[in-house]
Structure 1
Amino acid sequence: MKKVLAAVLAGAMLTASMAGCSGTASSSSSSKAASDSKADSTAATSTASAEDEALTCTLNVWGPAEDQAKDKGNWLPTTCEQFKKLHPKWNITFKYSACSEGDAGKTVTQDPSAAGDVYFFANDQINTLISANALSELGGSTVDEIKSSCSKEIIDSVTVKDSVYGVPFTTNTWFMYYNKSKFSDTDVKSLDAMLKKGKVAFPISNSWYLPAFFIANGCTMYGDKGTDESAGIQFGGDKGTEVTKYLATLVANPNFKNDADGSGLAGLRDGSISAYFSGSWDAAAVKEALGSNFGAVSLPTVNIGGSEKQLKSFSGSKAIGVNPNTKNPQVAVALAKYLGGADAQRSHYKLRSIVPCNTEVLKDTDIQKDAMVTAQNETFEKTSIIQPFVASMKDFWTPTENFGKALISKEITKDNAASKVEALTKAYKNPVS
């Protein structure tokens, strides 16, 4: 009924919203913005009727500081100005604030009515943003374009109950960088093989990375698909104990180093580390550090319990969202669509090595030749799981971080592995079965 209503109201609401672009929002502006954003499809982007309507408005755009830094190409302001040129009858004043994708869930929700009209967010925060009435459902041609230009997995990452809530612009995961002079193509398929030949840094004390070992050995988070909150996080039992014993052995290996406070990247620079796990955000720095020896691949296997198991990282997407409290819904949705579009993804990649997710852009010759792009995409497709974004994930991060720190400090050993991992599982506040 909501979709039908949005479609029926599209024509009527367009005129009203355009006329009120510079005005004061009414008490119903939140619900109206949500409906308008679903009905934006034709109204706010490319049709003649929308472009013929002259308007003046101010749009607040929140994005990562790096996208607004002159020494990194000033991508966000530049792209917004390009959008403005494409809409000559829209007299838009842009205002910018720094807010990283990872911080959107806590920053935007503090006061959604005062937050950016358009902002960038990591998909694992989507339910938090929706619950705070801070994220609009999209519809019409905007969703059609997303579905025609992204993989099903990417679309699923911004979908809740069959509704799309953001314009994806990149996958979000981590993979492995390595020094090609130290490890062969065969070596990098196995972490244990690498540890026999050189030093490897891995962020054991980082709760975004540590679960890769548990998932590798068949432990689950919220069921097989990561959506069953009642199933809880099952890192205990024999499978979890095997993982914990492996990790206790791993941190004792002289060729292993816990990557904390930038030590892994620093080690690549000075040669004391030969492999390092991170994401596309570090690509430029790693390429500078390794030069012609730059290597990037999807995740290796590990030998747990006597057999090879595939490490699996958390993955998701980063997207551009529209605030349902915006006074300018058509313009906001059109901008979000443009910032996540093909041209914007190309320039984002060139300026900041942000890996595109648009399927046509990924066919570009220079992008296909980039080992980092291949590593991220292969990790997303083959050696990762979609990071759960159920509400209970809030209880996951701190206990997992503490568990990793206890491994590094040798508080957790092979001898007490079973009891320690059971205590971890209890710390997740799993539902009583």
Structure 2
Amino acid sequence: MRTIDLRGRELSPADMLAAVPRATQARAEALETAARIVEDVRTGGEAALRAQADKFDRVSGHAIRVPVTHIEDAVAALTPEIRTALEEAIRRVRQASAAQVPDTRVTQIGDGALITQRWQPVNRVGVYIPGGKAVYPSSVIMNVVPAQVAGVQQIALASPPQHDQDGRIHPVILAAAGLLGVTEVYAMGGAGAIGAFAHGVADLDLDPVDVVSGPGNNYVASAKRAVAGVVGTDSEAGATEILVVADRTADARLIAADLVSQAEHDEQASAVLVTDDEALAERVTVEVDRIAASTMHAERVAVSLAGPQSAIVLVDDRAMATAFSNAYAPEHLELHLEDAPEASSAFTSAGAVFVGDQTPVSLGDYMAGSNHVLPTGGQARYAPGLGAYTFLRPQQVISYDHAALAAVRDGVVALANTEVLPAHGEAIEARFQADEQGTTTL
């Protein structure tokens, strides 16, 4: 990993971002291709999906709509250890997601004038689960459970068909779906799956969804952009990111282990350490080299850590470290600080904040109870991670009686006339015509 020394400099947020750029070229190149794949599915339906499976997954003749028996077989084949772990993760995510559903609130504006704020679930959700360099049953949980907690009635799931599974979805992904009661499952991958969810596929009895969620590669993220406006989407999750802010009390070995754990995901993954302690930076460099060389995916990790998106950043002090983190807005932020619990409130822009050296990102990936589908690429400045709220729509319900309407009658008419929309005012006046003619309005 390279070291970038920002000490002794006055830097704007833009300067800080320029010091450690994200890997963006692959995303830019994917946009045009993903849009074309989505359009092929919109016009070609099942035939387009099969052509894509043959080209990208080396699979043909498979059942795109997964038989329920395949799901049941996958659940039955789970080892007790994996089943227990999945069920415990489901329990924890369900408990944490329940706190994300707002209560209905009624505000009395005046006598007989009520505004009710309520949250309505969407009817139908399409969940995408990637199946490339790793298997992600945890992502099944992270997407399906919040939708269920929100009250979504129909949940469809898609994941790529696997060449080494005779065209079936990976069995552990199927098993996770089965444990959650999801039976509408499709063996389709990438941008094509996003297009199928957005536009529907009549030949497969696949109806369009209201919201598409789930992680994926650059093509999946770009496909979400292509269907935005047709359906709702969660954030355009790109390559994973970890930013660690650490002081002199931190354990270099633990920091290095966490940086390597995220670099393991993908060659474009970002691993960044920000510290004001040069000695710690040097120790972390040594530990990263040691751990990265011996890990299973050493080649992939080496590419990620050597890329421009990964670095050790030296800063003057805690204030500069905080400013850098908030400008960067990482997907995952770890605080290896002596006063981490107290300091955490100053770090306002991050998908999720992991406080203290006993709270690694990998805990959040599986068992913390928090959601691991988080905004990347700086989107944490303005966008949340996935939660029950992703599948909810705030709705205002307005209820005025005749007396309450009379109290604002003149104001509405005055404003309507000011905006040269007289029919608006006339719609108000129509409700008082009977009164003025001597008839009581009930």
Larger radius of gyration: 2
TM-score, scaled to structure 2: 0.22
Q: TM-score, normalised by structure 1?
A: 0.22
